[in-house]
Chains A and B, each alone.
Chain A
């Protein structure tokens, strides 16, 4: 079988080595078994944009490529070819490879079974001298309509393995990103789902079933996912029963602050008190998810239900109270109260460490971005409340804040996925794969040959990268060390390392028509 340009084939996968199911442009076939075929026209079609152009959400509809190809052979052979095309069209999904010339890269259309237009076996006519047309002998024209995904797929792009560490700052030699990695320029025209495989280093991750946050934030080069260290020299103000910085090499920046929660820190019967206040460093204005890295005391056999709330300080203002009186009021807007519930199993004294998701907040507080006005964020005053639901005593060490940009002038799109593992692992000697195209997770042993049972509970959206963005920031955070203690060090320990393999299919809007 010998193809000529453009290449137009039904194949079984979007890959160069895929098996050919039907070749529309096979001009030198074995004539004993198959007729010669030629693509005389290939229209890739265009997808439709569904939804109002100015709506906050839109969707790309299907596109309708069309192939016109001629078959040179007996009518019986032509009928057989038509039957072969029909078989491919009747598959639930299929792949049509299209490559205009040797100088271009192939793309694949993911096609679907669809309602059919009549496919006819038309004779091919040519003009003859003296006027009129005659039918070419044993030459047949077939028009094949298709329905395909909005964007064509390019060959899978595999990004060289990245390394990330669960630490506050990037490490050099070799480069290891601090819970993140900047992806190289994304190929294609349209946003695409990422396939992300995470393999914790063999020296880390002994904890069973730690939870992970995996995401991709696309935006400007100035976009930042800042870590704010808490501890010695942080410049923050200690609240109720919050200590000064304590040196400890196991914590970010080599220190932490400890809140020693008493029964009635706030008032009789309540200890959900303000423990820490201060000003954040300047970050690009926008909306951020805020997480706090903590260690909590969770004695075995004692149920501890820690409460956390993060607040944005809007400052002071003169307001008119419902009573009509004027008053000066300082407003701190707290987010939802987050609960860290240790049941009764506990982890032991201050052996739990991980990240508490405190919600998302605008910085500066109350800021509304305007597209044509650029400004600098002032230092943002925050407040952190910690207590226990039953107002008993407890101890929490606060190590750091992490800000993840999720919206605002520097962010094009953010897609975060939280994976809560219970009976399935993503720990050392395990490779966990999050696949944005199929919206699936699976895990294998390090060799990749054996699948593990079960999957995590997933919430959010699978990571998507945007080729139009100046930067695609990959986020990988081990949120806790897991539900059981299985040895040390844990994946959440300072600078625990994991290898990250990322790949994706580039998505193309315009392909050319092959002429």
Chain B
């Protein structure tokens, strides 16, 4: 007999009208995930097959708690499957939640890029000038671009040598800032180090001269060059004095741009471009929360910026660029690798038709308390006895760098874990290589650390079935199974474990919610796949 067992109602909107169809529905199932939010729902709807003639992906279905009118889950319909036959006429309805919208559009995004391979010799540069990328002698461990006028060269006023950068133009994102440590081979007021866009030129470094003293220089959108429209720029060495001949043996007419950071111009959650140091905050790093705010204003425009919750993160991301394009979900999943203590989600629409959005820290105290009486299963995993991992990545100059991450550096030695048995012996886990565009020392340390931690101390994971009201310690309510939300901690009463709820699967036939707790250990491939370009 059609109808739902939980105190739930179902509505279908076919674009013309809303229709409550609860009494015609059965077999409701839905899934919510963290990260992700509303993922999917399905049910059978016993109605004449011509009740809805053109249900499709733009139409929606909603599941409500009939006690409060609160939306439990909401989805966009897949192409429905009207059936007619021995079982009568009915629809098999399947819908995807708001999380699917995060996979809609692909765009090039340059949040912060230290890849010097994006520079190329400027077409207008003096033909005898040179441009090369190599490791800085002045700042070991950092890569630099060197623009140089060779010896035995006549340099006239206005000539220049340097490199242009067109990656923002290719990505379709405006430039937010460029930062470099500028240092030259000599101090000479006949030359200047310049940053130039199609409309403005700014002397950087020592200003009206070049200097052997390094200067950390940053130019910002709006402050130094036009906001929102600057898509390409050049860094170059520029002759301002009278024409002069550089002696053949003189190899000092050069300027290095060290540790160049190219910052895309982020938006705030309302879609307004951020400008200047006040808006963009830093030209050498971005925070995951800043990236999320940009996604809200740029790609997740179907989410409600007014009520969106974005918790501030702290890890400084030093390399995050998608010149070939990426979807919002791809960026958000990448951020989970940098900030594993945070998760994102897209929920139901509000009265203004926009979806709820959250990017928030995993709580540290449990919200739900459940018993194992209805079913509990813990997933096992192997402990890999190793105390070091080597992480390979590509630096700004395109060279391969290997960064070791050790158990000792992670604080996992001497606390009673099996890894202590290795003593001074070094045993490496399988090495990994970071994908292109994500390589930096900080990223390598962060990701290598996560992999090694999982191998040494695997997280607990399991499933628990809930088919009765449980205590919601956050609100104080006794909540029904369908009210349980992922993205919070759950305490298993009998074992005392406090685990993250990463997925909930509701089955109305049993009026039960299956909670997936914790996270199984990711394989290296899974972790790297998250970081790979979408």
- Residues of A that sit less than 8 Å from B by CB: 50-52, 54-62, 150, 213, 287, 289, 305, 307, 312, 314, 322, 333, 335-339, 341, 357, 359-362, 364-369, 389-390, 406-407, 413-418, 420, 439-440, 454-462
B350 at the interface (CB under 8 A from A): yes
Counting chain B residues whose Cβ lies within 8 A of the other chain, the interface size class is: 35 or more
Q: Are B352 and A55 in contact (CB under 8 A)?
A: no
Q: Which one of B13-21, B111-119, B131-139, B178-186 is at the interface?
A: B13-21
Please indicate the chain A residues that have their CB under 8 angstroms from the CB of B65 in the complex: 460
Q: Are B467 and A55 in contact (CB under 8 A)?
A: yes
Please indicate the chain B residues that have their CB under 8 angstroms from the CB of A51 in the complex: 5, 509-511
Q: Are A369 and B62 in contact (CB under 8 A)?
A: no
For residue A507, give the distance in angstroms from its CB to the closest CB of chain B: 14
Q: Closest A-chain residue to B17, C-beta based? A: A455
Bound: A454/B16 CA distance, A: 9
Most chain A beta-carbon contacts within 10 A, residue among B71, B473, B478: B478
Q: Are B67 and A407 in contact (CB under 8 A)?
A: yes
Bound: A234/B351 CA distance, A: 31
For residue B322, give the distance in angstroms from its CB to the closest CB of chain A: 29
Given known A-B contacts A55-B5, A56-B467, A439-B20, A339 and B352 have beta carbons under 8 A apart: yes
Q: Are B66 and A461 in contact (CB under 8 A)?
A: yes
For residue A60, give the distance in angstroms from its CB to the closest CB of chain B: 7
A459: which of B7, B64, B352, B477 is its contact (CB, 8 Å)?
A: B64
Q: Are A337 and B307 in contact (CB under 8 A)?
A: yes
Most chain B beta-carbon contacts within 10 A, residue among A51, A54, A337, A460: A460
Q: Are A60 and B1 in contact (CB under 8 A)?
A: yes
Number of A-B residue pairs at CB separation under 8 A: 151
Bound: A339/B306 CA distance, A: 7
- Residues of B that sit less than 8 Å from A by CB: 1, 3-9, 11, 13, 17-23, 62, 64-71, 270, 304-307, 309, 350-352, 356, 364, 467-469, 471, 473-478, 480-481, 508-512
Q: Are A439 and B68 in contact (CB under 8 A)?
A: no
Bound: A61/B13 CA distance, A: 28
Q: Are A289 and B307 in contact (CB under 8 A)?
A: no
B6: which of A56, A362, A413 is its contact (CB, 8 Å)?
A: A56
B5: which of A58, A150, A458, A460 is its contact (CB, 8 Å)?
A: A58
Please indicate the chain B residues that have their CB under 8 angstroms from the CB of A369 in the complex: 478
Given known A-B contacts A339-B307, A461-B64, A333 and B351 have beta carbons under 8 A apart: no
Given known A-B contacts A314-B476, A322-B364, A454-B17, A459 and B71 have beta carbons under 8 A apart: yes
Bound: A335/B70 CA distance, A: 12
Given known A-B contacts A341-B351, A454-B17, A416 and B69 have beta carbons under 8 A apart: yes
A333: which of B23, B364, B474 is its contact (CB, 8 Å)?
A: B474
Given known A-B contacts A56-B469, A57-B508, A341-B352, A458 and B67 have beta carbons under 8 A apart: no
Please indicate the chain A residues that have their CB under 8 angstroms from the CB of B471 in the complex: 368
Q: Are B7 and A461 in contact (CB under 8 A)?
A: yes
Given known A-B contacts A339-B351, A459-B69, A59 and B20 have beta carbons under 8 A apart: no
Please indicate the chain B residues that have their CB under 8 angstroms from the CB of A416 in the complex: 66-69
Please indicate the chain B residues that have their CB under 8 angstroms from the CB of A455 in the complex: 17-18
Q: Are A57 and B5 in contact (CB under 8 A)?
A: yes
Given known A-B contacts A59-B1, A366-B476, A439-B23, A413 and B467 have beta carbons under 8 A apart: no
Given known A-B contacts A57-B5, A461-B7, A406 and B18 have beta carbons under 8 A apart: no
Please indicate the chain A residues that have their CB under 8 angstroms from the CB of B307 in the complex: 307, 336-339, 389
For residue B301, give the distance in angstroms from its CB to the closest CB of chain A: 15
Q: Are A459 and B11 in contact (CB under 8 A)?
A: yes
Bound: A338/B69 CA distance, A: 14
Q: Are B7 and A413 in contact (CB under 8 A)?
A: yes
Q: Closest B-chain residue to A408, C-beta based? A: B478
Bound: A287/B65 CA distance, A: 14
Q: Closest A-chain residue to B472, C-beta based? A: A362
Q: Are B1 and A406 in contact (CB under 8 A)?
A: no
Q: Are B476 and A59 in contact (CB under 8 A)?
A: no
Bound: A417/B364 CA distance, A: 36
Please indicate the chain A residues that have their CB under 8 angstroms from the CB of B23 in the complex: 439
Q: Are B306 and A456 in contact (CB under 8 A)?
A: no
Q: Are B20 and A458 in contact (CB under 8 A)?
A: yes
Please indicate the chain B residues that have their CB under 8 angstroms from the CB of A359 in the complex: 70
Q: Closest A-chain residue to B269, C-beta based? A: A389
A406: which of B9, B20, B67 is its contact (CB, 8 Å)?
A: B67
Bound: A322/B508 CA distance, A: 38
Q: Closest A-chain residue to B26, C-beta based? A: A59
Bound: A462/B4 CA distance, A: 13
Q: Are A62 and B1 in contact (CB under 8 A)?
A: yes
Q: Closest A-chain residue to B480, C-beta based? A: A56
Bound: A62/B364 CA distance, A: 48
Please indicate the chain A residues that have their CB under 8 angstroms from the CB of B9 in the complex: 459-462
For residue A213, give the distance in angstroms from its CB to the closest CB of chain B: 8
Bound: A452/B315 CA distance, A: 58
For residue A482, give the distance in angstroms from its CB to the closest CB of chain B: 14
For residue A205, give the distance in angstroms from its CB to the closest CB of chain B: 21
Bound: A501/B467 CA distance, A: 39
Please indicate the chain B residues that have their CB under 8 angstroms from the CB of A461 in the complex: 7-9, 20, 22, 64, 66-67, 69
A55: which of B69, B350, B511 is its contact (CB, 8 Å)?
A: B511
Q: Are B476 and A460 in contact (CB under 8 A)?
A: no
Please indicate the chain A residues that have their CB under 8 angstroms from the CB of B7 in the complex: 57, 413, 415, 461
For residue A363, give the distance in angstroms from its CB to the closest CB of chain B: 9
Please indicate the chain A residues that have their CB under 8 angstroms from the CB of B306 in the complex: 305, 307, 339, 341, 389
Most chain B beta-carbon contacts within 10 A, residue among A150, A361, A457: A457
Can you name 22 A-B pairs with beta carbons within 8 Å? A50-B5, A51-B5, A51-B511, A55-B511, A56-B6, A56-B480, A57-B4, A57-B511, A150-B1, A287-B477, A335-B475, A337-B307, A339-B307, A339-B351, A339-B352, A361-B477, A389-B306, A415-B7, A417-B69, A455-B18, A458-B18, A459-B64
Q: Are A458 and B6 in contact (CB under 8 A)?
A: no
Please indicate the chain B residues that have their CB under 8 angstroms from the CB of A417 in the complex: 69
Please indicate the chain B residues that have their CB under 8 angstroms from the CB of A462 in the complex: 9, 20
Q: Are B1 and A61 in contact (CB under 8 A)?
A: yes
Bound: A57/B5 CA distance, A: 5
Q: Are B352 and A439 in contact (CB under 8 A)?
A: no
Bound: A364/B306 CA distance, A: 30
Most chain B beta-carbon contacts within 10 A, residue among A307, A339, A365: A339
Given known A-B contacts A57-B508, A339-B350, A414 and B18 have beta carbons under 8 A apart: no
Q: Are A360 and B68 in contact (CB under 8 A)?
A: yes
Given known A-B contacts A59-B1, A416-B67, A456-B18, A362 and B476 have beta carbons under 8 A apart: yes
A56: which of B1, B468, B476 is its contact (CB, 8 Å)?
A: B468
Given known A-B contacts A51-B511, A55-B467, A460-B9, A312 and B476 have beta carbons under 8 A apart: yes
Q: Closest A-chain residue to B86, C-beta based? A: A115
Q: Are A368 and B270 in contact (CB under 8 A)?
A: no
Most chain A beta-carbon contacts within 10 A, residue among B8, B67, B305, B469: B67
Please indicate the chain A residues that have their CB under 8 angstroms from the CB of B508 in the complex: 57
Given known A-B contacts A57-B7, A362-B475, A460 and B481 have beta carbons under 8 A apart: no
- What are the 7 A-B residue pairs with the smallest beta carbon separation, nearest first? A461-B66, A460-B69, A57-B5, A389-B306, A366-B476, A57-B511, A439-B20
For residue B64, give the distance in angstroms from its CB to the closest CB of chain A: 5
Please indicate the chain B residues that have their CB under 8 angstroms from the CB of A314 in the complex: 476
Please indicate the chain B residues that have their CB under 8 angstroms from the CB of A368 in the complex: 471, 476, 478
Please indicate the chain A residues that have their CB under 8 angstroms from the CB of B478 in the complex: 287, 368-369, 407
For residue B143, give the distance in angstroms from its CB to the closest CB of chain A: 37
Q: Closest A-chain residue to B353, C-beta based? A: A341
Bound: A272/B494 CA distance, A: 41
Q: Closest B-chain residue to A113, C-beta based? A: B88
Most chain B beta-carbon contacts within 10 A, residue among A57, A287, A307, A415: A57
Q: Are A460 and B64 in contact (CB under 8 A)?
A: yes
Bound: A338/B351 CA distance, A: 9
Bound: A260/B221 CA distance, A: 36
For residue B405, give the distance in angstroms from its CB to the closest CB of chain A: 24
Please indicate the chain B residues that have their CB under 8 angstroms from the CB of A439 in the complex: 19-23
Please indicate the chain A residues that have their CB under 8 angstroms from the CB of B21 in the complex: 439
Q: Are A390 and B13 in contact (CB under 8 A)?
A: no
For residue B478, give the distance in angstroms from its CB to the closest CB of chain A: 6
